[in-house]
Amino acid sequence: MKILCVFGKYSYGDPLREISPEYASFIPALERLGHDVVHFESWDRIQYSDFAELNKALIEIVEKETPDVMFAVQLHYEIWIETLQIIKAFENVITICWTTDDSWKYREVSRFIGRYYDFMTTTYPEVLPFYKKDGIDTVLLTQWAANSHMMIEPLPAAECSYPVSFIGAAHGNRKRKIEKLKRRGIQVFCFGYGWPEGPVSHEKINRIMNESIISLNFANSKGENQIKARTFEVPGAGGFLLTEYSPGLKHFYNIGRDIESFSGDRQLADKINFYLKNYDKRDTIACSGFKRTIQEHTYDIRMKEILESAIKFSRQKKGESFTRYHVSFDQALKKHRFSFFHILFKIFLVTFGVCIFGRKRGPRAARRFLYEISWRIFGEKTYKAAGLPGRLFPDQ
């Protein structure tokens, strides 16, 4: 099959950050499964003058490539609902959306865009009833995984270069947690956006995890603790994972046998000190986690299941009456234009943001404020061409 992958090459569309997990993982897995993959950049806003240009380019590449599947990872409102309606009108294209952070983004994003995709995925079982309640029935429960082409046999602790490492952005309370460990005499080598070492390549990430006696994972970026890609990447790279506990973690790994977990700063420090002194126990767990990851938790397995489920749904629907949308891009484009009033409104918001947060953070804070108000008050309209955040802040 030909699959059009619609997401960013870099995390959050920022070339200064590392390659995004989606780009580094999904595309190679789909290619290994024998599919013809075409990538469309949808996160890097520098490539487009505004969202109108992005959406026009997306429709054009669908018309040109005629893919069997469009596999998208939508961050917020970068892909208009009208665009999804136009693409969905192509009978031979199955549209799939991989959702991220549905524990909190379902309320903000997924529930508004879900019915406009043919097939949705989520990594959070607790939100499945909400999808059903909102009339979004074609949802598959899946999970993040490890790259099968980047698997490395576990390295004995005695041969490791790093005692303790952490790889991930320095946001939220992560700096505070690392500082607390430092005050307890535990040095952690940190890599990623916001740390002095900065982002590192995926190849180096794997080597660092493989060559660390202990690889830390903090599970909270917003809302409750979450199972993220790093949960599977560390054992897949032959590393020893010590992760903050997340609900549902025990369904994927045997805690204490395949990986280790912690709850709270004191337990984190205690377990680090324990495994730094007990190499044999550490090595046994690293080997067990590596074997289980190969058998159950690779992106090849995940992508195969998603595609098979989406195709099965499509075949079931064949012959039934599809919802046909009569939407033209020109009509959407007219709604995306803004007036002199909108210009004044943006000036007011940015001025207000700069006064409170400064010149650097002010414009982003203004966009965020408008977005938070928009999805709460206008709901679905936020993700249409007429949505104010996308119209007024195409570069934020």
15 pLDDT higher than 80 = yes
pTM for this entry: 0.91
pLDDT at 323: 54
- The model's pLDDT over 164-210, given as tens digits with 9 standing for 90+, comes to 999 998 887 899 999 999 999 999 999 998 999 998 888 899 999 99
Better-scored residue on pLDDT, 321 or 238: 238
Structure tokens at 167: 């790889």
Q: How would residue 379 be classed by pLDDT, with cut points 50, 70 and 90?
A: very high
Partners of 141 in the β-ladder: 122
As a whole number of angstroms, the distance between CA 295 and CA 82 comes to 41
Q: Do domains 2-145+299-331 and 148-296 have the same CATH topology?
A: yes
Determine the 3-state secondary structure of 8 from DSSP: coil
Question: How high is the mean pLDDT of the chain?
Answer: 93
Token representation of residue 284 = 């046994």
Cα(105)–Cα(375) distance, integer angstroms: 11
| pLDDT tens readout for residues 298-353 | 999 999 999 999 988 876 665 554 455 668 899 999 999 888 899 999 999 999 89
Q: Round to whole Å and give the CA distance between 336 and 388.
A: 9
Note the CATH architecture for domain 2-145+299-331.
3-Layer(aba) Sandwich (3.40)
Higher-pLDDT residue of 130 and 339 is: 130
Domain boundaries, the chain: 2-145+299-331, 148-296, 338-392
The label of the residue with tokens 């199972």 reads 227
For the chain, what percent of residues have pLDDT higher than 90? 80
Among 236, 242, 287, 288, which residue's Cα sits nearest to residue 29?
236
Angstrom distance (rounded) from CA 396 to CA 391: 11
How many distinct helices (H) and strands (E) make up the chain? 15, 11
Q: Is the alpha carbon torsion for 106, 109, 112, 115 positive or negative?
A: negative
Given this model, what pLDDT does residue 321 score? 47
Residue 384 is which amino acid? K
Bridge partners, residue 139, by sequence: 120
Q: In sequence order, what DSSP letters do the residues of 286-301 get, joined into one string? A: HHHHHHHHHHH-BHHH
Compute the distance between CA of residue 58 and CA of residue 61 in angstroms, rounded to an integer: 5
Question: Which residue has tokens 């909400």?
Answer: 130
The C-alpha atoms of residue 13 and residue 152 are separated, in whole angstroms, by: 28
Interstrand relation of 212-217 and 189-191 (parallel, antiparallel or unpaired): unpaired
Rounded CA gap, 283 and 271, in Å?
14
pLDDT tens-digit map of 56-69? 999 999 999 999 99
Tokens at residue 246, please? Answer: 């997340």
Element holding 162 (H helix, E strand): strand 162-167
Closest of 247, 245, 225 to residue 101, by C-alpha: 225
Query: Above 70 in pLDDT, residue 223?
Result: no
Backbone region of residue 110 per phi and psi (left: phi > 0; alpha: psi in -120 to 50; beta: other values): alpha
Domain spanning 148-296: CATH 3.40.50.2000:
yes
Least confident interval from 66-70, 155-159, 217-221, 318-322: 318-322
